[in-house]
Homo-oligomer: A and B are copies of this chain.
Amino acid sequence: MPAPDGIAVPDKQMRMTRSRPPVAPAQRPVMLAIGGDSASGKTTLAQGLVEAMGEDRCTSICVDDYHRYDREERRDLPFTPVHPDCNYIDIMEQHLQMLATGQPILKPVYDHSTGSLIRPEYVQPRQFIIIEGLFSLFSKLSRACIDISVFLDPPEEIRREWKVRRDTSNRGYTPEQVVDELDRRESESAEFIRPQRRYADIVVRFAPVAGRDDPPDTPLSAEVLLRPTIEHPPLSHVLSADNRTAMHLKIIRDNDGTPVDCLHVHGHAAPEDIQLLEKTIWTGVADRREMPSGLGSLGPGRRSEPLAMTQLLLLYHLMQEVYQG
């Protein structure tokens, strides 16, 4: 923890502390962070993981609650909520360090329905903690607290659709207001949010596949980039690079030229298509507990194999971390 002698290099201090053999392993939670722009699907993905792991041992924390200003105060400010100055990044970092070392926090609460900051909430760490929010992967110190980092990277036009739909139905805005806000945020989003993609171990893009004539209610496909920054299950033993299969795995160059494994799961994949792979992945999980059910659910009666596979990969990493410590 960054005591006086650690102020100069708090991230390094944190890493060192976390690298020491723990005295009480149960008190060191496994932390998975989900970054991505507003309405990219972070909360939905986080909720799915909490449900799969069970609320008794998994909790999720939204770090958008670390707003410095309420909606009223923000009106006159020259920046939007996607600017770090609009958030208590330092307090977020503190709290992530607390949770990472098994300590409770008194988390601020931003009420999205009224836009005001209200009574904070006492949060006790559980065995698994999902951190989600705009600044999850923003700083070196926040990343030092995280075991597995994920960035959600939907195509921009899809994200804008999602944001309009959500903010008009849950947050009391008109469609015009949401579109204006998206435009207002664009430059700050480019400067502060999208660069976090670079630091994720796993980048997930749900999108339709260009040039395919899938029926209109086909789930979105998933493109999952697996960076060699953490140890992934040995997918290359099971999957080929053959584009014509419902799932395939290719080595590609990412935007910045770095090599990365790219897993593609098509929206038209059938449960049978992915079952073998699911089993292969789950067999690698150290405690061989039963595979969580309900993965890939898009609501009553609707399923997405790309979503199920993405969730399973993340659950695999959560379980692995417990045993690798």
B-chain residues with CB within 8 Å of residue A117 when the two chains form the complex: 119-120
In the assembled complex, the CB of A322 is this many whole angstroms from the nearest CB of chain B, namely 15
A7 at the interface (CB under 8 A from B): yes
Asked if A28 and B4 make an inter-chain contact with CB atoms under 8 angstroms apart, the answer reads yes
Cβ 8 A contact of A108, one of B8, B18, B106? B106
* Cβ of A20 under 8 Å from chain B: yes
Nearest CB on B from A67, distance (A) = 10
Chain B residues within an 8 Å CB radius of A1: 1-3, 6, 17, 97, 101
Interface residues of A in 84-136 (CB under 8 A from B): 88, 90-91, 94, 97-98, 101-106, 108, 116-120, 122
Q: Which residue of chain B has its CB nearest to the CB of A14?
A: B3
- B residues in contact with A91, CB < 8 Å: 104-106, 122
Q: Supply 10 A–B pairs (Cβ within 8 Å), ascending by A.
A: A3-B18, A4-B27, A4-B101, A4-B102, A5-B21, A7-B101, A91-B122, A106-B120, A118-B118, A119-B119
Query: Which A residues form the contact surface with B (CB < 8 A)?
Result: 1-8, 17-18, 20-24, 27-28, 68, 70, 88, 90-91, 94, 97-98, 101-106, 108, 116-120, 122
